[in-house]
Amino acid sequence: MASSGDAEKGTRGGKAGKGRRGRVGNARARLLEAAVGAFAEHGYVGARTRDIAARAGVAEKTLFAHFGSKSVLFGEAVGAGLQEFMGDGAMRSLGPSLSGLRSARERLRAIARNRLAFAAANPELVKVGLQELLLDPSFREPFKAYWRDNILPGTRGLIADAMASGHLREQPPERVLRIFVSMIVGYIVTRHVILPELDWDDEAELEAMIEVFLRGVGAERPDPEPDPEPVPEPVP
């Protein structure tokens, strides 16, 4: 039978263990946050593990204890975050509620608002993720496979439903998705990377994008252009 002293030691040991797990978790979270900032500033090649560790307030060996290598750290800090930005987060947080929205316009607005909010909260993550997609084939190829196998099937169903209900014109769902994603990502790049200093009105920009999108691929038809003015014949 354990003595009261042994029991007390066990209790203190348990508390110390929880505290240590908390510190370990905090160190990991700080390393992930520091990595995103370093990769955004210097790119994958230019970011150094010792500088990332210093940003996080830990020793470099702690970084390697958690992640093993810079490439693993990059994958967890940036790759997972970019997957969240490009589809996972929207489908997970909006999936149940999208079915309750009646029109394609309402659904597009909900998805766009959700992704703009994510980008506003994580501008460095979006910046470095898109940058590495453009520059690094070893990062791009797995992401392309992830998009094809995990994101496209779910969105294809949403687009097909919108076509069946008459909200979108019949055409390949992949084309519709490419157009919509290009508009949203293009706005986010301009908003957070190229011209972040401008006084942006996200709601007005969002509504304008949806209007252009629906007039391009939606069942909503643009107003017909007026007939051109007749050209008067030259007077002899």
Query: Taking the mean position of all CA atoms in its chain, how far away is CA 137?
Result: 19
Average pLDDT over residues 180-196: 90
pLDDT of 9 higher than 80: no
Q: Where residue 15 falls among pLDDT bands split at 50, 70, 90?
A: very low
CATH topology of domain 14-68: Arc Repressor Mutant, subunit A (1.10.10)
Mean pLDDT of the chain: 79
Average pLDDT over residues 146-150: 81
pLDDT of 19 higher than 50: no
Domain boundaries, given as residue ranges, for the chain: 14-68, 69-220
Please list the helix, strand and coil fractions of the chain in percent, rounded to the nearest 5, in that order.
80, 0, 20
Q: Which amino acid is at 74?
A: F
As its CATH architecture, domain 69-220 has: Orthogonal Bundle (1.10)
Do 181 and 217 form a contact (C-beta atoms < 8 A)?
no
For position 28, what pLDDT does the model report? 93
For position 20, what pLDDT does the model report? 44
Residue in this structure with the two tokens 């975050």, named with its chain if needed? 81
